[in-house]
Amino acid sequence: MGEHGDTVILHDELAYADVLPVSFRALEVAPDAALLASWADRNLRMLQACAAIEEHGQQDKQDEDSPHAADLLRIDLKVNLLLEMVGHLLAASQSRPPARPVRFNAHGIVWQTDGAAPAPGTRGVVEVHLKDSLVQPLCLLGSVADESHDGVVHMRFEPLPEAVGDHVEKLVFRRHRRQIAGVRHTRR
């Protein structure tokens, strides 16, 4: 786990790093197949929605020769503003865990906790709220991997369904690409 220049690494792969609402719930009983399938389906939809929200500012340059380019751009900006406003209203109307420094990828997660850290080997589900405009958190099953030091918890995920793992990797890559672009932009 670490940062190499502009790159955040966890379990020898790129990682998503931010300050996000995160919670952990220990599980005494292994979730059944129906619950796991429900989590996988919900995670996939949530990650797809997150990708769609992030795309709004990433579009290629509009065809300036198009007679409706300016109109479409104005409509796009208004819809995005409306989505942000609704997202803030949703976030304000729901209780969420406190935001904490977090790093994750398709293999695991590391987060800072205020209270007592779960013991190594504790199996549970971690919930990460990626965006205010998304009601559902990303719910990932795993086990606490290491002894917590200074309130930092390390958790290894159980193998993710292929589609969910692919979307988590895409989320991590998009974040990394934006960070690199931001660093290049500020150095100019």
pLDDT tens per residue, range 80-114: 788 778 877 877 777 889 999 999 999 999 999 88
Domains in the chain, number: 1
Examine residue 46 and state whether it is found in any structural domain, yes or no: no
The string of pLDDT tens digits covering residues 142-185 is 999 977 778 899 999 999 999 999 999 999 999 888 878 765 55
Classify residue 133: in a domain, yes or no.
Answer: yes
Does residue 41 belong to any structural domain of this protein? no
Give the CATH number, domain containing residue 106: 2.40.10.220
**153 CB-contact burial (10 Å; exposed 0-12 / middle 13-18 / buried 19+):** buried
Domain that holds residue 88: 2-27+69-182
pLDDT > 80? residue 20: yes
Looking at this protein, which amino acid is placed at residue 8?
V
Rounded distance, CA 47 to CA 171, Å? 8
Instruction: Specify if 18 maps to a domain.
Output: yes
